[in-house]
Structure 1
Amino acid sequence: MSETLKIVSWNINSVRARIELVERFLTEESPDILCLQETKVRDDQFPEGMFRRLGYNHLILCGQPMHHGVAMLSRVPLHEHNRFDWQDNGEARHIGAVLENGVRIENVYIPAGGDLPDREANPKFGQKLDFYERMTNWSASLKTPTILLGDFNVAPLESDVWSHKQLINVVSHTQIEVDTMKKLQDAHGWVDIGRKFIPDPERLYTWWSYRARDWRQSDKGRRLDHVWVSPELEDKAVSHVVHEDSRGWTKPSDHAPLITEFKF
């Protein structure tokens, strides 16, 4: 008997500030599992009431005050919870769990890396590269079929940004970040689900800056959010879309949700 699961990844940019948007999204799309990044709330202050009312009774939280934070809200059981400190400073940037079928889900919020793509002049950029290196080392020994998703804060392909020429030296699209992400991908043979369903060079963005007066008209987007899977799960993914409309809702996150359906 096959099982279909709809899994969503969304950098919500404060779950409490956008709880009404999250409720609207859950009501309209009805995913089985919602993976949030940048929740910006301590675990004991997480607004779990709405989620439970909608049937998301399996909650895994990894938060901290005001910054970062990840969460997994699920209608199906989640087991073997884990947290990796890939930032190596205690920040709440990862949470993981195992589904009933043995597939692991890892929800990650990789650092943005500051404004200057220089490790010496900008320690935040070095932290980002080191975060990727720790994930790469973990990936190299990974044996469990895994879904890795979240805000990776790198747009690797030229078609993943509105202007490759103008962003080539801007953090999130520099060559060193692209190369670093490629090492992570190669370490486990990760399959990029976004580009499996929307092949390069088609336009594919997940983030649009708040600075744009009309984000949709200017469309200066970047693909910072990703869903990757272990090679043996590639054929289990049956659809993948970016829910761009939610970027136009009142007081939105600057990221759009990624909706992926799997058939196990």
Structure 2
Amino acid sequence: MTRPIKITTWNINSVRLRAPNVEAFVAAEKPDVVCLQETKCQDAEFPLKAFKDMGLPYLVIRGQRGGHAGVAIASRLPLEQVDVPDLCRENHARVIAARLPSGLEVHNIYLPAGGDTPDPDANDKFAHKLDFLDRLGPGYKKLKKGVKRVLVGDLNVAPHENDVWSHKQLLGIVSHTPQETERLEDSRKSAGFEDIARLAVPEEQKLYTWWSYRAADWAASNRGRRLDHIWANKAAMEDVKVSSYRIHPAWRSGWKPSDHAPVSLTLKA
């Protein structure tokens, strides 16, 4: 009998700098698949040996020169890269996907942050973000039906009131504006994905995956946002162990941490 598959998503904020953090997490939590965002390196610069040494020898990576993009999927199981929808008008390294031997597809997305000004006319980064969100639902709706599909990543949107520390104070802040939250939820629902976090944790409970570096003591202030997501389509839901959903906030601390915590989910093999 094959063992369950544990998938982790983590905005690592530079994979070359924080490969030791990933190694420590893998040793402690034993994920089978690790999806990384904001790897910040070209393909030739990716620390392949470090991932092979930590027991994740199968890799699908997409990097780029400069900027803050880059995505990767590392696995203990063989991976077959699969096509992804055209979501990024700038052709950044923001979307990647792979198929596991079980047939499950894992899609890894790093959605644009959108800058500081929530006005697409004044801020092209925000316009890019809204365009990406507009493409997300239709893009995934066009994919082949019946395929088990999990979508993970730093989607840079906190969709619900309790996905931010203060709904009222953040309504005009990029990542929680109605322009973003409505588009994200419309895309998720139209493409037939379930938001696993809010199946596992009631919507009235606060839930965060990101805490700003600007806070002197992020844990004490706890002004977080749920920016990192795990979604599953109808075909995959039959294998999802909803109760296994975990945010790992301890990894927001320690040696040179990312400002994101890793998030995990286990599926039946």
Normalising by structure 2, what TM-score? 0.95
Distance 2:105 2:152 in 1: 11
Aligned partner of 1:39 in structure 2 is 39
2:16 counterpart SS class: coil
Aligned partner of 1:8 in structure 2 is 8
The answer to whether the aligner puts 1:181 opposite 2:175 as a matched pair is: no
Distance 2:252 2:7 in 1: 19
Give me the CA root mean square deviation: 1.3
1:85–1:93 contact (8 Å) kept in structure 2: no
Quick one: which amino acid aligns to residue 118 of structure 2? P
Aligned partner of 2:247 in structure 1 is 242
1:243–1:256 contact (8 Å) kept in structure 2: yes
The answer to whether the aligner puts 1:133 opposite 2:138 as a matched pair is: no
**Pairing partner for 2:260 from 238, 245, 255:** 255
Distance 1:94 1:38 in 2: 11
How far the C-alpha of 1:84 sits from its partner, in A, is 4.6
> Superposed, which structure 2 residues align to 1:67-106 within 5 Å?
67-106=68-107
How far the C-alpha of 1:137 sits from its partner, in A, is 1.2
Cα distance per residue 1:107-159 (max 9 Å; x no partner): 00000111111111111111111111112111222312210010000001110
Structure 1 residues 188 and 3: CA distance shift in structure 2, 3 A:
farther
Count, aligned residues: 264
Cα distance per residue 1:65-110 (max 9 Å; x no partner): 3421000100001114335541122210011011112221110000
2:86–2:139 contact (8 Å) kept in structure 1: no
Quick one: which amino acid aligns to residue 96 of structure 1? A
Quick one: which amino acid aligns to residue 245 of structure 1? A
Normalising by structure 1, what TM-score? 0.96
1:242–1:257 contact (8 Å) kept in structure 2: yes
2:209–2:261 contact (8 Å) kept in structure 1: yes
Quick one: which amino acid aligns to residue 232 of structure 2? V
Cα distance per residue 1:39-82 (max 9 Å; x no partner): 00111011111111122111111001342100010000111433
2:60–2:81 contact (8 Å) kept in structure 1: no
Aligned partner of 2:216 in structure 1 is 213
Structure 1 residue ranges without an equivalent (≥5):
none
2:58–2:78 contact (8 Å) kept in structure 1: yes
2:239–2:268 contact (8 Å) kept in structure 1: yes
Distance 1:214 1:5 in 2: 34
How far the C-alpha of 1:2 sits from its partner, in A, is 5.4
How far the C-alpha of 1:14 sits from its partner, in A, is 0.3
1:6 counterpart SS class: strand
Using the TM superposition, name which of 188-197 and 251-260 deviates more. Answer: 188-197
Structure 2 residue ranges without an equivalent (≥5):
none
Using the TM superposition, name which of 4-13 and 235-244 deviates more. Answer: 235-244
Using the TM superposition, name which of 200-209 and 228-237 deviates more. Answer: 228-237
How far the C-alpha of 1:261 sits from its partner, in A, is 0.6
